[in-house]
């Protein structure tokens, strides 16, 4: 994880130890050389937009604080094996891709991201989120719907399995985490009375989007995840840096394996309007071309994960606090 920022975290504050739910937590994946963590912040069901609005989520869940990084992706592939892809697109991307460990991973299709999420589940003993009839498939030919009795959201979300612990966020889950302030959906994911100022990736403040001043069209680049301002619900980079592909289909709710998915949040080459809560664009799930170079993803999770045995090490509560990474 980058040293710039991952926020003030509580690592594994378990209900069994304290009788309370975690506000922020880190889940561990892999082992030894492939060990990595994902930091989550809890989004509660205590308040919601109206049910007809974007952002209504009637349950607690957790959102990845930062976008998935190159380091996390590479350690996943070291465990599962390298996923295939579009060789022609890969050749054209070679000059643009980088393995800088703390940059958001880009150039991946939605199906590849779904396989990452499935591995998060299976490697920790949980049910896969997404149904592929062929192992390690990365296209729509083997992507299938769950039957209603196994689907999430009471059988209505046939993209996700009801027993999955980790998943790509739905549009409502993503929007609520980004823009909901407890009373309304804000235009931007800023804290109260803040505006989305451009950041430099060094000061720890601002967001990474196009600095379009005096008519200049300045193509920027992504920065290490968490290098800008904390957002309203404890996340980072939900505005700018790279677009994020979501679980939800762009057109309607009927399951179609190859239907466009939603992408949100804007990227480093977006103007400020793309960062707004009203902006949503389609993303072809097979896409590995130039658009994927400015598109990444983050994961979401249920709040109640099967807990390890609580080992008291630092105190009677077994708390371990991660430092503020600035």
Task: Tell me the domains of the chain and their CATH numbers.
Answer: 9-322 (3.90.1580.10)
Token pair 């896969």 is at which residue? 128
pTM: predicted TM-score of the whole model, two decimal places: 0.85
For residue 89, the model assigns a pLDDT of: 43
Q: Is the dihedral of CA 85, 242, 294, 202 positive or negative?
A: negative
For residue 176, the model assigns a pLDDT of: 98
Do the bridges between strand 166-167 and strand 61-64 make them parallel or antiparallel, or are there none, so unpaired? Answer: unpaired
For residue 4, the model assigns a pLDDT of: 36
For residue 9, the model assigns a pLDDT of: 34
d(CA 174, CA 272): 18
d(CA 43, CA 38): 16
For residue 51, the model assigns a pLDDT of: 86
Task: Read off the tokens for 288.
Answer: 């590995």
For residue 127, the model assigns a pLDDT of: 96
For residue 98, the model assigns a pLDDT of: 62
Residue 136 · residue 109 · CB < 8 Å: no
Q: Is the dihedral of CA 208, 103, 54, 49 positive or negative?
A: negative
For residue 154, the model assigns a pLDDT of: 94
For residue 70, the model assigns a pLDDT of: 94
Q: pLDDT per position in the chain (326 positions), as tens?
A: 444 344 333 333 333 233 333 467 899 999 999 999 999 999 999 999 998 888 999 999 999 999 999 999 999 999 988 776 544 444 344 445 566 899 999 999 999 999 999 999 999 999 999 999 988 888 899 999 999 999 999 999 999 999 999 999 999 999 999 999 999 999 999 998 899 999 999 999 999 998 655 445 556 899 999 999 999 999 999 999 999 999 999 998 789 999 999 999 999 999 999 999 999 999 999 988 788 899 999 999 999 876 543 333 222 233 233 323 33
For residue 279, the model assigns a pLDDT of: 97
Number of helices (H) and strands (E), helices first, in the chain? 6, 15
């Amino acid at each position: 994880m980058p040293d710039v920022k991952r926020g003030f975290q509580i690592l594994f504050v378990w209900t069994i130890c304290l009788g309370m739910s975690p506000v922020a937590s880190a889940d561990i994946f892999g082992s030894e050389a492939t060990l990595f963590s994902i930091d989550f912040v809890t989004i509660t069901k205590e308040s919601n937009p109206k049910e007809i609005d974007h952002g209504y989520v009637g349950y607690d869940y957790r959102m990845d604080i930062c976008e998935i990084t190159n380091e996390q992706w590479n350690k996943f592939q070291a465990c599962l094996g390298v996923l295939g892809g579009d060789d022609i697109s890969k050749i054209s991307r070679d000059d643009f891709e980088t393995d800088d460990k703390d940059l958001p991973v880009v150039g991946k299709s939605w199906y590849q991201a779904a396989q990452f999420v499935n591995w998060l589940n299976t490697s920790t003993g949980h049910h896969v989120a997404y149904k592929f009839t062929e192992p390690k498939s990365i296209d729509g030919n083997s992507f299938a719907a769950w039957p209603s009795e196994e689907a999430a959201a009471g059988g209505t979300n046939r993209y996700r399995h009801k027993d999955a612990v980790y998943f790509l966020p739905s549009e409502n889950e993503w929007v609520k985490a980004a823009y909901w302030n407890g009373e309304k959906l804000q235009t931007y994911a800023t804290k109260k009375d803040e505006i989305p100022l451009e950041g430099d990736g060094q000061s720890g403040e601002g967001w990474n989007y196009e600095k379009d001043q005096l008519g200049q069209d300045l193509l920027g680049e992504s920065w290490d995840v968490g290098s800008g301002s904390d957002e309203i619900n404890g996340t980072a980079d939900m505005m700018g840096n790279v677009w994020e592909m979501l679980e939800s289909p762009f057109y309607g709710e009927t399951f179609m394996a190859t239907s466009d998915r939603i992408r949100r949040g804007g990227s480093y080459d977006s103007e400020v309007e793309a960062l707004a809560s009203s902006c949503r664009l389609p993303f072809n799930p097979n896409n590995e071309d130039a658009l994927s170079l400015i598109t990444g993803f983050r994961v979401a999770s249920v709040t109640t994960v099967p807990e390890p045995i609580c080992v008291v090490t630092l105190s009677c509560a077994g708390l371990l606090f991660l430092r503020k990474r600035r």
